[in-house]
């Protein structure tokens, strides 16, 4: 399987790239900073330097020829303001979906966030509210497309070691989940085309990843 990962230097993306390459799949990470290419090489992935806030759809399409799937794992990141939540978490996701359609890459997995399904509750920090609204907009855009999309909404992300056990459903109680387990679930979703059209919420749990996905497939 040949997979392009937007936001290729993020922590979930690096874990995903490592897991894919360990089983002899080809992982291609889109990164903005050329200095990050070495980190992708360390996990067996190929880096393509492409700034999704500046790139044209044609430039993205050029990187998707011969690709089996796209995973959108990009995010503006901590410390960024509300405007970049829109240009990255929404705008770049829309750009990647446009390019996937034009390149004929049907499988598209969007890593979103728990809480993106509705309006942020009163009292939510302004920047975090902008982040959730951007994720919701990217979800809404994707649902209208003729792609084999799956939306994954992880809970609060941690750097704990993955356990390989999760709770995965269309509506989960709020909780945390290791980034490593998020990546493992994405690998499983890539292997399970019948999850296309699903919006899934993910937190830590007791069910092995493969079993949790099989129950939904």
Average pLDDT, the chain: 94
Q: How many helices (H) and strands (E) does the chain have?
A: 8, 11
- Please check whether residue 165 is in contact with residue 205, taking contact to mean a CB–CB distance below 8 angstroms: yes
- Measured CA to CA, the distance from residue 30 to residue 35 in angstroms comes to 12
Cβ contacts of 132 within 8 Å, gap of 6 or more:
113, 115, 116, 120, 124
At 103, the pLDDT band (50, 70, 90 cuts) reads very high
Q: Quick check: 115 pLDDT over 90? A: no
Q: How far apart are CA 141 and CA 207, in angstroms?
A: 31
Q: CA-CA-CA-CA torsion for 38, 43, 44, 50, nearest 10 degrees? A: -50
CA–CA separation, 46 vs 122, rounded Å? 42
Single pTM value for the model: 0.95
What distance in Å separates the CA atoms of residue 199 and residue 195, rounded to the nearest whole number? 9
CATH of the domain spanning 2-216:
3.40.50.720
Tell me 34's DSSP state: G
Residue 38, pLDDT above cutoff 90: yes
Tell me which residue of 63, 66, 85 sits closest to 76, measured CA to CA.
85
Residue 171 clears pLDDT 90, i.e. is over it: no
- DSSP secondary-structure letter at 140? H
DSSP letter at 89? I
Give per-residue pLDDT as tens, 187-214: 999 999 999 999 999 999 999 999 999 9
Residue 33, pLDDT score: 95
């Amino acid at each position: 399987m040949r997979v392009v990962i937007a936001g290729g230097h993020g922590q979930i993306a690096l874990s995903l790239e490592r897991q894919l390459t360990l089983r002899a799949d080809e992982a291609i990470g889109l990164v903005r900073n050329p200095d990050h290419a070495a980190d992708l090489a360390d996990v067996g992935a190929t880096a393509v330097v492409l700034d999704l806030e500046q790139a044209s759809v044609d430039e993205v399409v050029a990187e998707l020829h011969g690709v089996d799937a796209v995973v959108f794992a990009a995010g503006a990141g901590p410390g960024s303001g509300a405007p970049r939540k829109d240009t990255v978490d929404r705008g770049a996701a829309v750009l990647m979906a446009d390019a996937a359609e034009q390149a004929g890459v049907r499988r598209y997995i969007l890593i979103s966030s728990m809480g993106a399904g509705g309006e942020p509750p009163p009292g939510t920090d302004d920047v975090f509210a902008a982040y959730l609204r951007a994720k919701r907009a990217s979800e809404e855009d994707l649902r209208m497309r003729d792609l084999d999309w799956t939306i994954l909404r992880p809970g609060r992300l941690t750097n704990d070691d993955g356990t390989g056990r999760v709770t995965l459903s269309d509506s989960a109680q709020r909780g945390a989940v290791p980034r490593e387990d998020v990546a493992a679930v994405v690998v499983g979703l890539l292997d399970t085309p019948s999850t296309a059209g699903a919006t899934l919420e993910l937190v830590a749990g007791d069910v092995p990843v493969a079993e949790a996905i099989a129950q939904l497939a």
